[in-house]
Structure 1
Amino acid sequence: MKRFRDYSWLTFFMKLMRAGQGRPVALAVLLGLSLLNLYSESPGVIPRPALLDKLDDMVPDTFGTARQLLFDHYQRRFPRVPASQPVTIVAIDDRTLAAIGQWPWPRNRLANLVDAIAAQKPLAIGLDIYMPEADQTSPDKVADNLPDSAAALAAGLRALPRHETTLANSLRAAPSILGAAAVDQAAFDTSTDLRSAPILVHGVDPLNRVKRYNYVLASLPELQAAAHGQAMLNVALEQGTVRRIPLILGLGDKLVPCMPIEILRVVTGSAAVDVYANTTGMESVGVADVEVPTQPDGDIWLHFASMRSTQQRYVSARDVLQGQVDPGRFHNKLVLVGLTGTGNTDMRTTALGELVPGIEIQAQIIETIFDGRFLRRPVWLKWAETIFVLAFGILIIWYLPHSDSRLAAFVRAVPKASAVLGLLLNLLLLASCLLLFKYFGLLVDAASIFIILSAVMGCFFSTALLDLGVQTRREAKRRRASAPRSADQLPR
């Protein structure tokens, strides 16, 4: 009985695949995969049904993974070549920690570093450092831990400036921006708000489109009040790799800027950051006369430069404190201060496959904005890819099954012609996408196009195999029927 059911299902499947010369099945595959691919980049393209969220938990994201790997290949083939060097990174590296002392430093020592940089007249100083807790080495904190017998010593310590006050004075005197990190979960050192510059929305409020968080790991309110700006340092991770960077994030019910945008605001003396958005999400972020195109969720695709071409932007904090750095490295530059010492930094993998400090990614964003070399994947491009796939797929479905077509005749006449033709078409597609990336910064998803059209071609290939199997069985049956019978099989 089971064999009969299996045979019935097999017969039904064979009839389904051969119906209409395979066209109905191929058309269903084309439409289904095109729709899944279109939904795979939601939000920002079309509304995403809740059913697909459940489907994502059960089915691997074939389109998303292939797309990411292809875009990485584009960058590795054509990495960004820096045209300018607006950023200098002051690295609190292993040399610095060995000479100055382990991290975290007392805040007055960090103030000395800020003062040494500010003396060289940089345009801005961004700190990739969080300071949510009071400095326990501050004189007042040390005094609190002294016994009653040391009352005179404690009084003398309390008369000294607090380390937070010293650092706040340095931050106030310099064009400083403090970094912060948006987080999902509350902790003892997180808060729900951040002092940030106002953001002016032009169009539809994109708060529900951008990545939103409820908590932030930020510096003490005293330090925030002294700095000239506050900015998020979050990056977007996809399977452990940084490809996209948010320029705007949501914190509770308000929008907040990320470090590169806030640095530009402070440098230009702008009172606010401009955000341009429509019903699909964000379109761009603007500061003064600079406008950066974004994805609907406020991210940008970052075009990475190789670390080999950016090493010259690093100077050791030890050399800065000892006055051994050429003032030209800081004058009219955007300076970023961050940890790169072993065990003290957040290392990230870029689309180039390189492991870099988090501060390097912030520098590359700023450099990309200065160079105007933006990678773009606008909503219209996704629709254009979908229309191309549907048009080309329908052409294949209509034309390929015709046995009297020139293409069919060519395939029959030339061995392996279909494989060669498919290879040439895919190479042409990849070459076109590489040129669009190189000269226009467009991220065209050739991987999804290849997957969908290959599946359509596979339907006809499967149908051809089924037809071949049927013909083979018929030929064998005819041969058995025409074979001469033995003497035992002859009628008596």
Structure 2
Amino acid sequence: MNKKLIKKILLFLFLGILLATTLTSIYINFDKLPNSLDNRLRDYFFTIRGTIKDNESVVIIDVDEASLAEVGQWPWSRPKVSELLEKLTQANTAIIAFDIVFAEPDKSSPHRVFKKYNINFPNPPNYDKILGETVSNTPTILGYVFEFSKEKYTNKKAPTVPAIFVEKNKHLGDDYLLKAQGTILNVPEIQDLAYSSGFFNNIPDDSGIIRSVPLVISYNNFIYPSLALEIMRVITQTQKVIINYDEYGVENIKLNNITIPTDRYGRLLLNFRGGEKTFKYYSAKDVLNGKITQKELEGKIAIIGTSAAGLLDLRATPFDSVYPGVEVHANVIDNILQGDFLSKPSWIDGLNILLIFFLSIVTVLFITFSPFWLNPILSLTLLMGTLFGLYEAMFKYGLILNIFFPVVTIALGIILATLVNYFSEIKKREAIKKKFASKVSKSVMDNLLKNMDSNEFQAMEKEVTIFFSDVRGFTNISEQMGNAKELIQYLNEYMEPMSNIITKYEGTIDKYIGDAIMAYWNAPANVKNHQDKAVQAALEQLKELNKLNKKLKETNLPLIDIGIGINTGLAIVGEMGSIGRSDYTVIGDPINLGSRIEALCKYYGSKINISNYTKDKLKDKYIFRFLDSVKVKGKTKPVEIWQVIGYGRPNKKLQIELEKYNIALKLYKDNKFLEAKKQFIDLIKNKSNLNKNIYEIYRERCEKYILNPQNDFEDIFEHKTKK
């Protein structure tokens, strides 16, 4: 791994940690607004999950609008309520609970009316006492309300609870439970005759939504259970309720063998079963009229409450903005019965912080080191994967992890990494453009910009295809031009289209040497089929040169003729030079050989010469003519020189000429110089569109070997000079 990559990884790792540290600080110190937004996001989880099946152990006896219309305005007379209790008891209902408090005496009670009007009547009926006696003779648990405002109520009487509450591991001075200031109890004639009772305070959070309910409340240094908890205590026959603490507050509440996880304040985080009327509702009037069968009520926990809007027991929950308060208690009981609790253990903050750090680092590194086009896919995958994980943790494992901070972490990580990458890329692009402006093709430039942190610029051995071109007779041309300015203008008119063609075919221009051009392929960026690209560029240059010469002829300027040499081989490529001044270039034997091959264009009368090293790796179809096996100056190993004539396949006339030429070559290589000479003379005499220099060269060689026979003949010609 190179130093630049390590440096980049460390930089973005630092950015990820910095982002995580900032978000963790907000998570710890400024949690009010994030918590509100987090709760809203969690509400969507409930919406996505939808309604789930309840235990069917809890039913709601609803004092609904229909019941009020038939029986009369609330409050009903106590005998009517007693009748409702008796009907439920007769149906073998297991437990009856009131989500209603009878805080005021029944004003319609005869004993109260007779007393008011001084009517002397022996033992007039006391409706409150009648209800109290019914409560004592039925499996009824009363409800009451705690008051938390010191100014509003002065009632200090406390209800009785037939159980012991033990606080374990509580540190002296720790006060986590909600503390009540007063009570709103049932009238004594009812309250004092009840076996048990529980508070039914439903306390919304700061956003006004019920998401948790207190299971216990502290009042005058005693602990009292909620209506739902008291119902479950009675069902489980628990005599000693254990409230377990840890260093962060309440951890759980135990009823015999049932452990109920809570938050640090002793509140149960509700796993709502669904929206309004997820539980079975029975209208109170139908119970009174005997329309509900015993089978429907037998063994059930019946909670008497109201869904009537006028009685003001409607709440907001994650599912509904208008939700009967009585159904909140049903959810609590069903959560305990099914044991599918939602909880925030004391260690959950540590896990949330760990998740922030993990997502921050992963997001920043993902966005930094993935292709730009892949970033939206990765970002969406990471976000959806995180949300799915949080959803699974909540509903499969009952763990409530923070949702807001992971979502914000991913979003800010994406933005931060993208911005840093953006400004970094701008800086790199400017550096690249400055170094390679007008030297490489757009595709090569784009590839370089994508791989700035790779080893593209370090010196290395790499296969390249080298290209040399040179203007023939440039000295004569310069003499014909009037002055240097005109010469430069003339030369630029040639150089510009030639250079554009090289870059078009993904070549890199190394340098201009007077009238010569040196270029190469497959460096600095990889170029697929670079041998073909070089040959195609050379052929297109000849085609473009024909157009240019027509234009030059029309303006009476000297025509241009060029020779091109192409070779392929392993060369050293990279940035070379001094610290203050360097250039990206290629060096090595293949470059020298490419220059020699171009110089031999004059000797063979060809336009494009390539080595066998290039020819052997070409993929496309071209028309070739073998020229020679030679040893160039400074080299001992022979190389084959081939002339590239054009694309595709030769026409019939050209095919015949090439076949004759190949026959003549074979005769020459087989030491049959007389026969070969005759063939070469025929080729010289015949009309041809090809240059005949090579035929003359081989005719002369045949004559030489005829006059001076050699026993150790090799068809390899050694060039003693560079040109």
Alignment TM class, shorter chain as reference: 0.7 to 0.9
Corresponding residue for residue 169 of structure 2: 203
Q: 1:310 aligns with which of 278, 286, 311?
A: 278
Instruction: Indicate conservation of the 8 Å contact 2:275/2:319, yes or no.
Output: no
- Relative to structure 1, the CA distance from residue 421 to residue 62 in structure 2 (aligned partners, 3 Å threshold; closer, same or farther) is farther
- Relative to structure 1, the CA distance from residue 474 to residue 192 in structure 2 (aligned partners, 3 Å threshold; closer, same or farther) is farther
CA shift at 1:80, angstroms?
Answer: 5.0
Corresponding residue for residue 38 of structure 2: 67
- Relative to structure 1, the CA distance from residue 23 to residue 375 in structure 2 (aligned partners, 3 Å threshold; closer, same or farther) is closer
**TM-score (normalised: structure 2):** 0.54
SS in 2 for 1:213: coil
- Relative to structure 1, the CA distance from residue 410 to residue 333 in structure 2 (aligned partners, 3 Å threshold; closer, same or farther) is closer
- Relative to structure 1, the CA distance from residue 429 to residue 222 in structure 2 (aligned partners, 3 Å threshold; closer, same or farther) is same
Corresponding residue for residue 202 of structure 2: 235
CA distance in 1, matches of 2:62, 2:221: 35
In the alignment, is residue 323 of structure 1 matched against residue 323 of structure 2? no
CA shift at 1:384, angstroms?
Answer: 1.6
Q: State how 1:115-194 maps to structure 2 within 5 Å.
A: 115-146=86-117, 151=118, 154-156=119-121, 159-185=123-149, 186-188=151-153, 190-191=155-156, 193-194=158-159
**TM-score (normalised: structure 1):** 0.77
CA distance in 2, matches of 1:209, 1:304: 24
CA distance in 1, matches of 2:361, 2:275: 45
Corresponding residue for residue 332 of structure 2: 365
Amino acid at match of 1:444: L
Amino acid at match of 2:167: V
SS in 1 for 2:75: coil
When you count helix as a share of all residues, which structure comes out higher? 1
- Relative to structure 1, the CA distance from residue 474 to residue 233 in structure 2 (aligned partners, 3 Å threshold; closer, same or farther) is same
| More divergent stretch after superposition (447-456 vs 174-183) | 447-456
Corresponding residue for residue 428 of structure 1: 385
Identity %: 20
Amino acid at match of 1:162: N
SS in 1 for 2:73: coil
- Relative to structure 1, the CA distance from residue 94 to residue 80 in structure 2 (aligned partners, 3 Å threshold; closer, same or farther) is closer
Deviations 1:295-350 (A, max 9, x none): 22111221112247735x21111122222210122221111111222311411122
Deviations 1:175-205 (A, max 9, x none): 2111112222243574353323431223326
CA distance in 1, matches of 2:54, 2:376: 43
CA shift at 1:127, angstroms?
Answer: 0.5
* Bigger RCO of structures 1 and 2 (CA < 8 A, at least 6 apart): 1
Deviations 1:199-221 (A, max 9, x none): 12233269711222212222123
Q: 2:376 aligns with which of 416, 419, 431?
A: 419
Corresponding residue for residue 271 of structure 1: 239
Q: State how 1:273-352 maps to structure 2 within 5 Å.
A: 273-307=241-275, 310=278, 313-352=280-319
Larger Rg: 2
Corresponding residue for residue 22 of structure 2: 32
CA distance in 2, matches of 1:190, 1:87: 32
CA distance in 1, matches of 2:116, 2:420: 83
CA shift at 1:272, angstroms?
Answer: 3.6
Corresponding residue for residue 6 of structure 1: none
Instruction: Indicate conservation of the 8 Å contact 1:112/1:321, yes or no.
Output: yes
Corresponding residue for residue 451 of structure 1: 408
| Structure 1 gap ranges (5+) | 1-19, 40-51, 401-406, 476-492
Amino acid at match of 1:432: G
- Relative to structure 1, the CA distance from residue 189 to residue 106 in structure 2 (aligned partners, 3 Å threshold; closer, same or farther) is farther
CA distance in 2, matches of 1:294, 1:95: 38
Instruction: Indicate conservation of the 8 Å contact 1:236/1:245, yes or no.
Output: yes
CA shift at 1:392, angstroms?
Answer: 4.3
Deviations 1:409-453 (A, max 9, x none): 643xxx443333222211111122223334223223233112134
SS in 1 for 2:46: helix
Deviations 1:6-44 (A, max 9, x none): xxxxxxxxxxxxxx968767644421211321x3xxxxx
CA distance in 2, matches of 1:221, 1:205: 36
CA distance in 1, matches of 2:190, 2:93: 20
Corresponding residue for residue 342 of structure 2: 375
Amino acid at match of 1:279: E
CA shift at 1:383, angstroms?
Answer: 1.2
Amino acid at match of 1:253: N
Instruction: Indicate conservation of the 8 Å contact 1:280/1:296, yes or no.
Output: yes
Corresponding residue for residue 62 of structure 2: 91
- Relative to structure 1, the CA distance from residue 177 to residue 291 in structure 2 (aligned partners, 3 Å threshold; closer, same or farther) is same
| More divergent stretch after superposition (191-200 vs 210-219) | 191-200
- Relative to structure 1, the CA distance from residue 234 to residue 350 in structure 2 (aligned partners, 3 Å threshold; closer, same or farther) is same
- Relative to structure 1, the CA distance from residue 205 to residue 173 in structure 2 (aligned partners, 3 Å threshold; closer, same or farther) is farther
- Relative to structure 1, the CA distance from residue 169 to residue 419 in structure 2 (aligned partners, 3 Å threshold; closer, same or farther) is same
- Relative to structure 1, the CA distance from residue 342 to residue 410 in structure 2 (aligned partners, 3 Å threshold; closer, same or farther) is closer
Q: 2:191 aligns with which of 195, 206, 224?
A: 224
Divergent runs of 4+, >6 A: 22-25, 468-475
Amino acid at match of 2:405: S
Instruction: Indicate conservation of the 8 Å contact 2:19/2:413, yes or no.
Output: yes
| More divergent stretch after superposition (184-193 vs 334-343) | 184-193
Instruction: Indicate conservation of the 8 Å contact 1:21/1:463, yes or no.
Output: no
